[in-house]
Amino acid sequence: MTVTPEHPVYVRRGGRVVVVRADEVRVGDVCPAPKVLPLSQEVFRDELREAAEGARVENGRVVVHVDRRERAEEVQEALLTVGLSSTIREGSSYEVVIEGEPTEVLRKLEAPVSSSPQEGVVGWVKVVKVETVSNEGVAWVYDVTVEPTRTFISECLVLHNTVSIAKAGIVATLNARTSILAAANPAFGRYLHNRPVTENIDLPPTILSRFDLIFVITDTPNAERDRALAEYVLDFHRQYYPEALEHVIPRDLLKKYIAYARKHVKPRLSEEAKKKLVDFYVEMRTKSQGVDSPIAITPRQLEALVRLAEAHAKMALSEVVTEKDAEAAIELMMAFLRSVGYDVESKRIDIDIVMTGQPKSQRDKIVMILDMLERMMKESGGEPIKREEFIEHAVEKGLDEPFVRKVLDKLYESGEIIEPRPGYIMLLKSR
């Protein structure tokens, strides 16, 4: 078996069963392991399972009904691997009649099914070899199979570079030191430019904020681009490949190039590149110095800039991150911030859209609604307030009615406000 170094393993030492880390297991240790089917039974696993599940006792004999002759012969051959002989009887369907006393026959049929490695009977085996396998390079690829929901980008994978599994009696946390490239469809079918990215993409900010770059790709009609795309698609179907495609790097060569760059190229940051990144970071932060100014960039984006600059240097198999690499990283970061971190209301870049799911302009309005609700409750002596009256009052103060209703719904869901009786709202506790 292959496990992570910290995976717990049961071993028998000194007459006792103890738990040790996998990297502490020694040759000669005795460990529990699931009993595996003999090869002959493994080959006919499906047929034996079908026989066990479909077996019926009829007239003192165990009978298995199948729909065709070929399947009956397969079941008959499978039964021989567990020491059961049988005959095939034809009628409205095909019947495999198993010889022997029904109780003994059923016991033999159930044994292979219950002895599978997943559900198996545990036995003791001696460790004959212990090998340490590195996963720092490109030799290991973790294939994470999950349900078709947003959980494919799990919080463990993105936040901690680990994958947790709990399957077939195995509970483990595996390292997943890898880059993550993800694609998502808009939550509303089409990307709505008047809504922040956190509303368009059904992922929590805790995960979205971990990506170094996020790009919005929209299907915007453009005559020149649409014509080029249509011609390419039709030429492809005609098996016609223009000269422009002859210079495209073959896929296998590109994969080898990337693998080589990732494994062997470790560029160091030059003084020029460092100065370029520092100047950009300070300039962006300076724009956020005002009390009412949104935060344009955080240290997390600075770390992303370093990774992007290093990646750009690796593309050229360069041992040094140059000023041009830093400029390319800054260009990518600005494209990301303009497309995703742009607050349509304040007309300014606000990284809080990605980091917290709300731009500063929206967060200020939410605080305004809470302050307004607290003030109205004090004026009413702590009594609940009519929901519609509060909404009317908020609209008079210049707030958008749909926005106010949406905020009240979210505050109710989060438990900050309650509805003591229909149509009335109140703060759960004073702020």
Over the stretch 53-65, which tens digit does the pLDDT of each residue have? Answer: 778 888 888 888 8
Does pTM surpass 0.85? Answer: no
**Contact status, residue 173 vs residue 185, Cβ threshold 8 Å:** no
Tens-digit pLDDT profile for residues 169-220: 556 566 666 677 888 888 888 888 777 777 788 777 777 778 888 888 888 8
Q: Which two tokens stand for residue 44?
A: 């006919």
What DSSP letter does each residue of 89-133 carry, written as one string?
A: EESSSEEEEEPS-HHHHHHHHHHHHHTSTTTPPEEEEE-------
Fill in the amino acid letter for 128: V
Rounded to an integer, what distance in angstroms lies between the CA atom of residue 171 and that of residue 18? 18
Rounded to an integer, what distance in angstroms lies between the CA atom of residue 428 and that of residue 416? 6
- Please give the pLDDT value at position 150: 40
151 CB-contact burial (10 Å; exposed 0-12 / middle 13-18 / buried 19+): exposed
**Contact status, residue 407 vs residue 366, Cβ threshold 8 Å:** yes
Tens-digit pLDDT profile for residues 291-348: 666 777 788 889 999 999 999 999 999 999 999 999 999 999 988 888 777 665 656 6
**Contact status, residue 206 vs residue 197, Cβ threshold 8 Å:** no
Specify the DSSP class assigned to residue 288: T
Fill in the amino acid letter for 200: N
Task: List the domains of the chain with CATH numbers.
Answer: 39-120 (3.10.28.10), 138-181 (no CATH), 223-355 (3.40.50.300), 360-427 (1.10.10.10)
